[in-house]
Chains A and B, each alone.
Chain A
Amino acid sequence: MSENLGKNQICLIIGASHAGVNCAFALRKEGWEGKIILLDSDPELPYHRPPLSKTYLYNAEAIGLNLLKSAESYAKENIQLLLKIRALRIDRKTQIVQLDNGTWQAYDKLVLATGARAMIPSIPGLSEAKHVYPLRTAADINEIRNKISQNFSQEVVIIGGGYIGLEIAASLRKLEAKVTVLERESRVLARVTAPELSLFFENLHAENGVSIHCNKKVTAIKGGSEKTQIICADGSSFSADMLVLGVGIQVNSELASASGLEIENGIRVDLTTLTSDEHIYAIGDCTNHFNPHYQRYLRLECVQNAVDQAKIAAAAICSKDVFYDTIPWFWSDQYEVKFQMVGLSTGYEEAILRKESEKVFSIWYFKGNELLAVDAVNSAKAYVWGTKFIKSGEQIDKAKLKNSEVELKSIGK
């Protein structure tokens, strides 16, 4: 038995969301016999985050949180789950972590799964304004639900036309709120998709009654006792009962940074998720890691990366010979549209549209003949075949791809 598998060893995991929870359970699966201590400042039993901006927000029957694991599962796997506890400081020399309940916790292996928090932009007047809602945790959504349920026809302004902003818009429309989205760029989803898709989503939201305004840089917020005024650089202004912030995230890397770990746009980790300290691993949204397929460093904000890195970290901690090599995938559900993405389109030279119908299509991103990524709208088939082609590297006949009469399984060269 290797030394890592001793019963007296302690693996401490900071952060109990998708990455941390999956890592804890994967450790048991890999044969870790020591203690597993999993902690988070969030008071709720760890839950799935993606539904927060979707079903959890609009489902009036209060479906409750979609738990990652049942309460009994933690006990069954002998995982000590500590909620409402924050780690304050890591002492790497003595391998202990200071907690905000006044105690210190020793570790043999430490896993940082600290994730990210909602970015609060520095807009004059924002910090003084009332009814401003960021979105990251169940508590954030509960506050939005409480506020909107006072009067479902309230005016809501959402700053940011990314996935979170648009999902919130769709969910609040289902509740019949009056929704306006302000996007700084010239189109929504500008950072992540091709112009065709931005247009599709802008139209989709317009059809559903959302007012989307692009090229709107918010420069000031003026809070009144009830209505809030949102003022933009071009002189336009919008009035809101509620202001929702969907402008991205900020990585929780302060704990790592203060302890002297290597940081570069997130906590830098190697292919086994090890940080610059041989006893400390980092997983999930907070990491900056190398992707062998795309041959570059990435920081990803998604469930796939959190879960896959969690499994790699657990295996590596148990001295298994593994390394992280995956193709990222994501999804977003808005209204009745199922949107799925695989791969990373950054650096694409050609975007090919494959259209089955107005509401069923996919965009295939190429660099030369290499397929980089696929965005699929209501087309799981395109998502699945895109995944297969990206993984295999098989060349695609682009003429066949464009022709929706040709089945996707037959588009290889």
Chain B
Amino acid sequence: MAKITFITSDEQRITLEGYSGSVMALAVENGIKGIDGDCGGVCSCATCHVHVAPEDLSKTGEASEIEADMLELDDDTDQYSRLSCQLQISEELDGLVLRVAK
């Protein structure tokens, strides 16, 4: 189990408990604003962009090559950007804080 906190663009802080699957799926199931996941989680649409809290980057690691390329679709991409469909929930992600991209 992992507790994951999302901070939305209107500054709401929502903490969810996830057990398996992707972080995107967890967010969509719980209606987190700004995470759409239109392609269903296959790294094809870049509508699940989050910024990992800098101190949590060791938990998630950095984006893969294809993911980093897809992130370039968005203007506000930085070194902490990830597509949440590519983050698989495991105990290692416990305590993770994510800011949903605008």
Contact = CB atoms under 8 A, between A and B. Distances in A.
B11 interface: no
Interface in A334-362: 338, 340
Interface string B51-65: 000000000000000
Contact of A381 (B30, B42, B69): B69
B87 interface: no
Contact of B39 (A77, A303, A384, A385): A303
Contacts of A50: 39-40, 42
Contact of A331 (B39, B69, B72): B39
Interface stretch (A68-76, A165-173, A225-233, A394-402): A68-76
A17 interface: no
Interface residues of A, number: 25
A384 B42 contact: no
- Sorting the interface of chain B by its residue count into under 10, 10 to 19, 20 to 34 or 35 or more gives 10 to 19
A183 interface: no
Contacts, number: 48
Given A69-B28, A76-B31, A380 B69 contact: yes
Given A380-B69, A380-B70, A51 B40 contact: yes
The main secondary structure of chain B at its interface with chain A is loop
Given A51-B40, A303-B39, A331-B42, A77 B69 contact: no
A99 to B, nearest CB: 28
20 contacts: A50-B39, A50-B40, A50-B42, A69-B28, A69-B29, A70-B29, A70-B30, A72-B29, A73-B29, A73-B31, A303-B39, A304-B38, A304-B45, A331-B44, A338-B66, A380-B43, A380-B69, A380-B70, A384-B70, A384-B72
Given A304-B38, A333-B42, 17 more contacts: A48-B40, A50-B39, A50-B42, A70-B28, A72-B29, A73-B29, A76-B31, A77-B31, A303-B39, A329-B45, A338-B43, A380-B69, A381-B72, A383-B69, A384-B73, A385-B72, A388-B73
